Amino acid sequence: MINGTNPSRVELSEVSSATLAGADTFILSHETSIGKNPIEATVFLAKAIAEAENVFDYDQAFVNVREEIKDQGDSAASIDLLASTGCAIAFEQRENVDLFICITENGRIARHLSKQKPKQPILACSTNGQTVRQINMSRGVVGYKIPEYLKQKTEDLVNLIL
């Protein structure tokens, strides 16, 4: 959509395919920097993403990921197991789980939770400013910078957040 007012089929197909493949972020470089219709390009991108997400079966994807992790047996990383277990609990008790909160230095647990595509938002708390900025690029994750002393005091951290 650099010169045109509507996206081509190829552009829409690429956005839809990337969304269904799990892309968390899209960049419109030429469309917004030198394109004639940067606002329209952004609106079309948002609409294409929303439409692709509406047809995606998140519940089945969750089941597939859990089965894949189960099949890996002892070789499954503990962090993946933790993320899938947390999502399984939220999946079973949908009305009781409103938010995932994780304390992370590098954002890894939050990214693994995001990979499970839970319906609940994920709050990733870190003392590292760079981690907080980067983790905001993951689907459904909001980074939150916490003071160093709260890293070891989980109860105080939860009280601060709530």
> What is the distance between the alpha carbons of residues 122 and 141, in angstroms, rounded to a whole number?
5
Please write the tens of the pLDDT for every residue from 14-52: 888 888 877 778 887 777 777 788 888 888 888 988 888
Phi, psi of 62 (to 5 degrees): -60, -45
Is a pLDDT exceeding 60 seen at residue 75?
no
Which two tokens mark 78? 């503990």
> What is the distance between the alpha carbons of residues 95 and 103, in angstroms, rounded to a whole number?
23
* All structural domains of the chain: 9-55 (no CATH), 58-161 (3.40.1380.20)
User: What is the overall mean pLDDT for the chain?
Assistant: 77
> What is the distance between the alpha carbons of residues 20 and 16, in angstroms, rounded to a whole number?
6
For position 74, what pLDDT does the model report?
46
Comparison of pLDDT for 100 and 150, the residue scoring more: 100
**Exposed, middle or buried, 19 (CB in 10 Å: 0-12/13-18/19+)?**
buried
Query: What is residue 91's three-state secondary structure?
Result: helix
Enter the pTM of the model: 0.50
For position 132, what pLDDT does the model report?
93
